[in-house]
Amino acid sequence: MKKIIIFLFLTIFLSANEIKEIDLSKVKWEYRFGDSPFENNLPLWTIEKDNQNSWKEIKFPSNPPNRNNQTNVWFRVKLPDNLPTNPHLYIVSIDLITQVYYENKQIYHFGEFDKEGKGEYIGWPWHLIPLYVDSAGKYLYFRIYSNYEDIGLWGEIIIASKSDILEKMLNYDIPKIIVGSISLFVSILFLLTFLSKFKRIELLILGLLFLTQGLNVFCSAKIIELYLYFPLLNQYLLAIAFFFFPVGMALFMDKVINQKTPFDIIKRIWQFHLIYLLVAIIGSLLGIFTLPSTYECFDIVYNFVTLPILTIFMIYFFFKGDKETKIITFSFFIISLYWLYSSLIAAGFVPWEEYPSDIAVFICLLLLSYSIVNKLNYTKELEEAKEELMILSSTDYLTKLKNRKEIDSTLQMYESFYKRYKDDFSIILLDLDDFKKVNDKFGHLVGDKVLIKISEILTTFTRQTDTVGRWGGEEFIIICPKTNLDDTAKLAENLREKISQHKFEKVGYKTASFGVSSFKENDTITDFILRADNAMYLAKSKGKNRVEKES
């Protein structure tokens, strides 16, 4: 029992005193410009003892003073005397390529150095460097080359066990992966909606914004690099997302917010940044300049020209615009503050930290989506109202059949078809027999119900290609395309039979008289209808409830 108690006590004591994480940015760092000479592939600066005064102290291993266009620098740091279990060194980023030495042994490299100590840019990944178990209290050396404005390490520099580092990374990156995935999914929905109609340009812009910013958030999730390690491709995707944001922001403001600006400055901004994006990506791919150098120019233009101008107009539009405009400008204002904050971090004015870029981007895009959905709903209501008005203007209010105006248009259309293609078409005119007696005896409401039921019978027992309309009063017309006189007469006979066999509520049985005619060469619509009308009255004169063809 005593042994168990002692074991538990020691376990608790040791775990409480175990070092979990060391912030290496807080210890003493030193730097030395230039590149070390090598002997037998060993850098002499890691083993020489005579030139210790050549090393100068620096608060953080980045951008030493008085650089004077130097592209090579060495940093060194003495590791603490106590290290965590399974120690690994985690560095957020290094500008641009590096070799890491423990004493005089190379333990890590990113990029390849040539004989002159230079190398090509291959991305900005994070770095996880395993340390020797016996490296406590010893020096680590960093050989670095950079032709970028920054040279050295950037961001967090910690020593912890590999599992702790990955767990910490995962905790930061899970929200990014979720937000990035949702943004990419929403971008697909917006883009597919745009492609289905090619009408709403704001859907295209919003889809591209969601796509690029979703890629920005998703690709910035460091844990992704464990499974998809393509640092240069990743950096190009991030660059496209980075450079596209002012394009999308200004383009959205230009196309969606209907406010005039002096010299069309909002339009000029998105045009300039779109050209810059294309030149930056294509030029760096062709090797005309390096991708990092494009960030330097972009930061100057965006932070000192584009962002101030857009912010001024955002504030102006916010106070002058409608509800949707206020939402749009407010969302851009949020993301602009985030971009300003990230720029201050990059410039070193604000201490580095993991900040919730995913949340800022997601809130901005959600607000933009809300404004667009509102606008689309309003537009949809207008379109539905317009469609309803068009239906009302072409439909008989009582029977819901085509009205006289729509029937005239349909007859003219089939007349054109006949003259061009010689397509037969015919009409049926029918008039309810003794319908006046129904209104006189039962009233107009009952008469209306009869007319409605007649329209239902006609639409039920005609073809989908036939057009059924109310010609006036108790008269109806049916246009039958690609149908000759005899076939149309058979259809009329079938309709006559269906009407005569139907028992109407209160009224009982009713009949109708039918006249049929077919369009002829050199015919006019007036002559065509007149022949059908004469045939219908012939049917009435012969006793009603019958079908007569034109003579």
Report how far Cα 371 is from the mean position of its chain's Cα atoms.
Answer: 14
For 550, half-sphere exposure in the C-beta direction (CA atoms, 13 angstrom radius) is 20
Dist CA 388 CA 161 (whole Å): 68
Contact in structure between 84 and 161 (CB atoms under 8 Å): yes
Contact 203, 194 (CB under 8 A): yes
Please confirm, yes or no, whether 474 is among the known catalytic residues.
Answer: yes
Element housing 100 (H / E) = strand 97-102
Tokens (6 digits) for 250: 């200004």
3-class SS at 471? strand
Q: Is 422 left (phi over 0), alpha (psi -120 to 50) or beta?
A: left
DSSP label of 263: G
Measured in degrees and rounded to the nearest 5, phi and psi for residue 67 equal -65, -45
Order of all β-strands in the sheet with 21-23: 21-23, 152-161, 87-95, 127-130
Q: Are the C-beta atoms of residues 546 and 539 closer than 8 Å to each other?
A: yes
Based on its alpha-carbon atoms, the radius of gyration of the chain, rounded to whole angstroms, reads: 41
Q: What are phi and psi of 348, to 5 degrees?
A: 85, 5
DSSP annotation string for 165-217: HHHHHHHHHHHHHHHHHHHHHHHHHHHHHHHHHS--HHHHHHHHHHHHHHHHH
Residues 6+ apart with CB under 8 A from 161: 20, 84, 85, 86, 87, 88
In DSSP terms, 479 is beta-bridged to 427, 467
Quick one: how many helices (H) and strands (E) in the chain?
14, 19
What residue ranges in 362-420 does DSSP mark as E strands? Answer: none
Contact between residue 49 and residue 93 where contact means Cβ atoms under 8 Å apart? no
Q: One of 30, 474, 548, 550 is an active-site residue; which one?
A: 474
Alpha-carbon gap, residue 457 to 183, rounded angstroms: 53
Question: What secondary structure letter does DSSP report for 133?
Answer: G
Phi, psi (degrees; rounded to nearest 5) at 319: -80, -25
Indicate the burial class of 216 (C-beta count within 10 angstroms; 0-12, 13-18, 19 or more). Answer: buried
Pairing of strands 547-549, 512-518: parallel
Nearest of 291, 203, 288, 287 to residue 248 by alpha carbon: 203
Positions marked active-site: 474
